[in-house]
Structures are given as structure tokens and as C-alpha cells.
Amino acid sequence: MGKIAFLFAGQGSQTPGMGRSLWESSDAAKEIFHKAEQLRPGLTDLCFSGKKEELSETENAQPALFAVSTAAAYALMELGIAPNGAAGFSLGEIPALACAKILSLEDAFALVLERAKLMQACAEETKGGMAAVIGLSDEEVTAYAKEHGVYAVNFNAPGQVVVAGESDILAAFSAFLKGKARVVPLAVSGAFHSPYMQKAADELAFWMRRLTFSKGDIPLYANATAMPYSESGMSAAELVARQIASPVLWRKTMERMISDGFSAFVEVGPGNTLKNLLKKICPSALCLSVFDGESLVKTAECLKENNYA
């Protein structure tokens, strides 16, 4: 039997109505929403009925995505599909901490609320944004970004790198790239994973002293190092704090997981972003996604048919 990895999506993947079908299809998913609702009243309604503008605000997007992604993961486990490892893109690393049992579900949700608050505060000070640059190498984007005062922050897949910076500088950089690459603005409210977020990283590190981190039940791969937490040479709290102001090494993370024997990857949460990135990184990998009741059943059946459960 091959190894299954659960992948947790990041901010920008939120969509109006997300999670409702999972809530209707799974008792495990319903229980996750119930717990999240107790910790942040009104969150379920935000996921199911919130408008795009509401869901784009960092303080709303992050806890909403946490709830939906965790609900999808637990719904799949309810059907007998258990992960052998996990990774999460940016925000997704926080629900992945709960999935790996490095943090309790309650502590992970408290963490995502604090993380969102601090990142929103930094974003409001900076007035920055992010954009995906498609069609250039990692090295080209990094060099161009350095020349123009923005930061290459997310190394997603071959030919796709995300940059971050102040809004006016980012707009000028996008204009410079016209004719060289395709530039796609992201639905986020700040220059995340750049030095603009260092204040949030420092404050979160202090706040996390109240949390209890364990070794976990399965390997969790860190954005900041592209290695399992156990091999990164830092504590879990250090990795979580560092991630906010450091690049996401997603391509290297996926390549490391594949070299470690993972061959089936399930994106749990809204959208297919991570699934589509993985297809570019490793076309031979089995890439699936769970975002509603129908995809939940189909994914479980596919994994069982391919002897993953």
C-alpha cells in the first residue's frame, strides 16, 4: 500500500458557500464546524453564506479556511482514509498541525485566530499585496524582484513564483513584466511571507509560549524548510512563526515528500490549487481533492480502488 499525504490549502482559495456540502454529507465534518462555531461564533454562516469581500479579509479567511479544510480531512478519515503525512500551504500549515496531532484542534484554532489578527494588522500597516508570476524560472523572478523592490516569496511549481510587496511597487513590477510573463493578482490583503510580516512573526512567537506542541503522529512538512518538522532543527513554534515572514518552499516540499515515498496526495479544502500545482511538479502522482460531498465519496473510492486503504 502506498503512502497518502493530506495537503491543506492556503489563503486565496476561499470561495462563497464553501463547506456547506461537507456539513450536509459528513457527521465528522459537522462536528468540526460545531467546534469552530463555539470558538468563533458566526463562522459557519460566514463559510456558507459570506460574500466574497468578507471572505477575502484575512481575519475572516484564515479561520474559515481552517474550518473547511479540517472538516474535509476529518470527513475523509471518517470514511477510512488516514494520512501517512501532511503539508499545508501557508495558512494550511496550521490545520495540518492539528491533523498531525502536533497541536490539539482547539489550540490550532486559537493559533489561527491569533495568526490572522496579527497578519491583518501588519497588512493594514503595509498596504501590500501578492501576485503569481507565470512563465519564468525561479531564478529569473528572484532577480527581477530584487531589482524592483519586491520579494519572491512562494516557489509553487515549475514556472510559477509568487511575489509580494507594497501595492504601488507591485503594480509597477507587474507592468515591467508585461510581455515577459503572465502576472495574476492574488485574493489576499497583504504582502505575506515577506519581511513586511516580521512584526507579526515576532508577536506570534511570543503568543505561542502558551501552547503545548507534541511530536505528532505523522510527519508534517514545513513550508520554511521543505523538511519534516522533526528534521528541521527548530521547534514547532519556531517553524510556525518563521513561516509568516519567510518564503513558502512548496515545490521543494512536494519533491521531498515524493522522495520520501508519498505517491497519493489529497487536497483537503476548497478548490484545486495544490492539486494542480502537484500535477506540474510530478505528473505521475495520484492527485485528488476533497471540497464537497461528491468529491469526498469519489476520493475515498478512488484511494480504496488503488489499494491506499
Determine phi and psi for 299, rounding to 5 degrees: -65, -45
Closest CA to 46 of 75, 68, 71, 73: 68
Which residues, in sequence order, are bridge partners of residue 3? 262
Q: Is 290 left (phi over 0), alpha (psi -120 to 50) or beta?
A: beta
User: Which of the residues 90, 174, 189, 295 is marked catalytic?
Assistant: 90
Give me the half-sphere count of Cα atoms (radius 13 Å) on the Cβ side of residue 152: 21
Residue type, 57: E
**Annotated catalytic residue, options 193, 194, 232, 246:** 193
Amino acid letter, residue 160? Q
Let me know the angle formed at the C-alpha of 238 by 234 and 241, rounded to the nearest 5 degrees. 150
Give the closest residue to 69 by CA, choosing from 27, 36, 102: 36
Question: Does residue 148 carry a catalytic annotation?
Answer: no
Give the closest residue to 8 by CA, choosing from 62, 79, 80: 62
Whether 137 sits among the annotated catalytic residues: the reply is: no
* One-letter amino acid for residue 238 of the chain: E
Residue type, 80: G
Comparing CA positions, the residue from 59, 205, 54, 65 lying closest to residue 121 is 59
SS3 string, 125-184, reads HHCEEEEEEECCCHHHHHHHHHHHCCEEEEEEECCEEEEEEEHHHHHHHHHHCCCCCEEE
Q: Residue 293 — φ and ψ, nearest 5°?
A: -65, -40
Catalytic residues: 90, 193
